[in-house]
A and B are shown apart, each in its own frame.
Chain A
Amino acid sequence: MSDADTQPNPDEDFVRSVWEEARDLIKRLEGSTVQRFSVEAAGTKIEIERAMASGGAAPMATVAAPAAAAAAAPAAEGEPELDGRHPVVAPLVGTFYRAPQPGAKPFVEEGDVVDEGQTVAIVEAMKLMNHVKTDQAGKVSEILCSDGDWVEFEQPIMYLDPLGD
């Protein structure tokens, strides 16, 4: 993975595989408020301490009920919610498009209500069209990018207002 000069030793392979597992765990914890946990297997122990997003929105509780936490946690690191608005972020580096093809109707307009998992834009990287899907339902309050704009990983491309109960 890194320099051939600094490639892992044979017995680091095991540590690495534990890491792979831990990484999956970390991914599953995204959006939760769990800050520390440890994994132990066959004498190898991995302790994870997660940095919480800066800003007042990050809950301080060590453990919280997952459902409540998912609603409260910001989706993008270092992008605290603004006035309760929820950012939809680019999944990778690429070119932003609002519509499935040139001239077609945009996926969404400002003011539209979207479901969780709905495609709201495309980010093109090397001719591959990557659908940007929402991770929660909401009302599109602001679209931040225009067709053809370059976006970075996790750059907010639109904001959603949460729906009232």
Chain B
Amino acid sequence: MFEKVLIANRGEIALRVARACRELGINSVAVYSTADAESAVVRFADEAVHIGPPAAGRSYLHIPSLIGAAQKTGADAIHPGYGFLSEDPYFAEICTDEGITFIGPRPEVMEKVGDKATARDLMSKAGLPLLPGTVDPVNTVDDARDIADDIGYPVIIKAVAGGGGRGMTVVNNREELPNEYRSTRATAQAVFKDSNVYIERYLATSRHTEIQLVCDTQGSGVYFGERDCSVQRRHQKLIEEAPSVHLTPEMRKDIGEKAVAGATSIGYSGAGTMEFLLDLDGNLYFMEMNARIQVEHPVSEAITNCDLIQEQIRVAAGEPLSVAQDDVVFTGHAVECRINAEDPDNNFAPTAGRLETYVPPGGPWTRVDSHCYPGWMISPFYDSLIAKLIVWAPDRERAIDRMQRALSEFEISGKGVKTTIPFHQRILQNEQFRSGDVTTDFVEQFMAEEKQLAAAS
């Protein structure tokens, strides 16, 4: 096992990883930019290194400073968290070259997974179901038209290097295709410096369903069930839950086994998530694989009683998974709300500022993953996540009730700071959400209805 792990991240996930290290008896090293000098993880970790100014390009994304910090402190591994350098094969490779273990898949595997076209191709070969469409990049307008005709409209054009909802365009008919094809390529080139795009069937309504995996370096893998993340706004997840009410135990076992087989077929190791779309007929289609721990991992922890970060660290150290598939028993229902410093009434604009009040909820089966405390400055330099609130209950209805109770306890205030709590509370009261019949266009419709009601009154 490692003696000292450097956490190349900030915010709640840095603290989450440091906590896992402490429980495993591993020393932790926090790194911080000037803006994060007073952060919770700097206080909590065994050591801390000041790595740069607030701009991430010169701190959390600056590889020489992170490697330097690891060498200064003698860390034998680096945990990248999520975002920043967590899915950068180049960073993983440099860590390896410097004799530091990167806690994640091997660089060459990460590279394959990070290229969506390659990942789809490999997973298709491993037996995972794909949406009708291309696996290879589409290089000409004529090819694009032929392929779209084969698939049938509407189709979606996606940047191979895209992510986070950027670099994708829905095309409804043949006439729109040439222009949309060209503009998506141009956007892809501008944003991702890679103009390659692929085309697939567009499902107007579907549910975002993802499978959590951890694989060890012995070639074993375990799935920790699925999460439904359909409550999202412009591809930003707001509420995540596990399990999905739309999967039967048989479906869960089938897709879980396929996902593990797919991951192990490419030599994947570490924690990872396979994203699927679930259509209204119950078909799952593989979309992409995320080669990192995800923001919403706690809901899977809540229904399986497994610590995914600890498993991730364990397998990175070369140890086998501490659980076999049969040990993973799914119990009850968990819901997570992402509490962001954003103004839901102003197009979710980020609201940076200093927190005057910060009182998190407590009580049974209520978990808060956060780096915030009264006096903490929510910096405009980084993402707006204040806290992840996770509750568990024996069933979905009671989990939602518990979440409402917990949200009502959460006190956050500060000059200029607005949060997404009121928005979450309104969604949790919504009949359709409570029924479980939620697709990825739910939030958009919900907001349109709210607007209509407001206009009518």
- A residues with a Cβ closer than 8 A to B are 1-12, 15, 19, 23, 46, 77-78, 92-95, 125-126, 128, 150, 152-155
Contacts and interface: CB of A to CB of B under 8 A. Distances in A.
Interface size of B as a range: 35 or more
A9 B384 CA distance: 13
Contact of B237 (A5, A10, A150): A5
Interface of B: 34, 37, 49-53, 55-56, 58-59, 61-65, 67-69, 71-72, 82-84, 86-87, 94, 163-166, 234-237, 290, 294-296, 347-350, 380, 382-385
B49 A93 contact: yes
Contacts of B59: 153
A90 to B, nearest CB: 9
A96 to B, nearest CB: 11
Contact of A2 (B67, B69, B382): B382
Contacts of B65: 92-94, 125, 153
Contacts, number: 109
Name A's interface SS.
Answer: loop
A7 B164 contact: yes
Contacts of B384: 6
Contact of A150 (B34, B53, B72, B385): B72
A125 B68 contact: yes
23 contacts: A1-B61, A1-B84, A2-B83, A2-B382, A3-B383, A4-B82, A4-B164, A5-B296, A6-B383, A8-B166, A12-B350, A19-B380, A92-B58, A92-B62, A93-B64, A93-B69, A125-B65, A126-B67, A126-B94, A150-B68, A152-B51, A152-B69, A153-B53
Contacts of A153: 34, 50-53, 59, 65
A104 B44 CA distance: 42
Contact of B49 (A2, A5, A125, A152): A152
Given A1-B61, A153-B65, A6 B49 contact: no
Nearest to A46: B380
A74 to B, nearest CB: 13
Nearest to B294: A5
A8 B68 CA distance: 29
A93 B34 contact: no
Given A126-B67, A150-B72, A6 B347 contact: no
Contacts of B348: 9
B37 A78 contact: yes
Nearest to A95: B68
Contacts of B55: 23
Given A8-B164, A10-B165, A92 B52 contact: yes
Contacts of A150: 68, 71-72
Given A92-B58, A93-B65, 6 more contacts: A2-B383, A4-B163, A6-B295, A46-B380, A152-B72, A153-B51
A19 to B, nearest CB: 7
A15 B342 CA distance: 13
Q: Which 7 A-B pairs have the closest CB atoms?
A: A7-B164, A3-B83, A93-B68, A150-B72, A2-B83, A125-B64, A126-B64
Nearest to B57: A1
A41 to B, nearest CB: 14
Given A15-B349, A93-B65, A128-B64, A6 B385 contact: yes
A106 B295 CA distance: 49
Contact of B166 (A10, A93, A154): A10
Contacts of A2: 83-84, 382-383
A46 B353 CA distance: 12
